Chain A
Amino acid sequence: MKVKFEHIGEIEFDDDLILTFENGLIGFENLKKFVLIKTEEDLFYWLNSIERPEFCFPLIGIRVIDENYPFEENFEAFAVVILNKDPLKITTNLAAPIFINQDCKIGFQKILDNEKYPVDYKLFVES
């Protein structure tokens, strides 16, 4: 399958890489098919909608930030990232993780509703 994504251009990939989100994403319930892309030099993953290629969400593996984050068996937890040219302003959404099983090619998003995990958690600090 060949899809032209807005920010990374045209990409060709095998159909068996397509991830199915049965319930879509929160606020984007009609988007059900995605492809997860990460280039070697890229820090972020890109969750690209196949149905609406203009929709793309940068993600980060939550393990980078929290090793004790609530897990779902056989799923990898990702947080949606709000990018910014100023890296100290980049935030990640820990309140609504995206869980992906890359073997079964399925994913879902859920809200944790726990004060410990805000929607706008700062991704970087000065070292």
Chain B
Amino acid sequence: MLILTRKLNEEIVIDGEITIKIISISENQVKLGFDAPKNIEINRKEVFEKVKESLMKAAEMKKEIPQNLKGLKPNKI
């Protein structure tokens, strides 16, 4: 893993088109700003992992089709 040291407001450039800026630093939290082309997906890792897991589960469970939907309605937001 490449490790770089940066100060507040300093930036990192990846591949000439993705910029990451240190917006603020507190005791145990950093705030980062990202500038990237629209097709680059940027996500918190734990959210990404959760989504990935849920997709795998969906593929696994595809045959568990319920037989009877009587008495049910969509759970509208």
* B contact residues, range: 20 to 34
Q: How far is the CA of A87 from the CA of B43 in the complex (A)?
A: 31
Please tell me if the beta carbons of A113 and B47 are within 8 angstroms of each other in the complex: yes
Q: CB within 8 A of B47: which of A27, A44, A84, A95?
A: A95
Q: Choose, from B1-9, B11-19, B56-64, the stretch at the interface.
A: B56-64
Whose C-beta in chain A lies nearest to the C-beta of B56?
A27
**How far apart are A37's CB and chain B's nearest CB, in angstroms?**
12
Please tell me if the beta carbons of A65 and B59 are within 8 angstroms of each other in the complex: no
Given contacts A65-B77, A82-B57, contact A23 B39 (CB under 8 A): yes
Given contacts A66-B76, A84-B66, A87-B72, contact A26 B59 (CB under 8 A): no
Please name all residues of chain A whose beta carbon is closer than 8 Å to the beta carbon of B77 when the two chains form the complex: 65-66, 68-69
Give the interface centre of A7, A26, A46 by most chain B CB atoms within 10 Å: A26
Please name all residues of chain A whose beta carbon is closer than 8 Å to the beta carbon of B48 when the two chains form the complex: 26, 111
Please tell me if the beta carbons of A123 and B62 are within 8 angstroms of each other in the complex: no
**How far apart are B21's CB and chain A's nearest CB, in angstroms?**
19
Please tell me if the beta carbons of A83 and B72 are within 8 angstroms of each other in the complex: no
Please tell me if the beta carbons of A90 and B74 are within 8 angstroms of each other in the complex: no
A75 within 8 A of B: no
Please name all residues of chain A whose beta carbon is closer than 8 Å to the beta carbon of B51 when the two chains form the complex: 26-27, 93, 95-96, 111, 119
The interface of chain B, by Cβ under 8 A from chain A, is 39, 41, 43-44, 47-48, 50-59, 61-69, 71-77
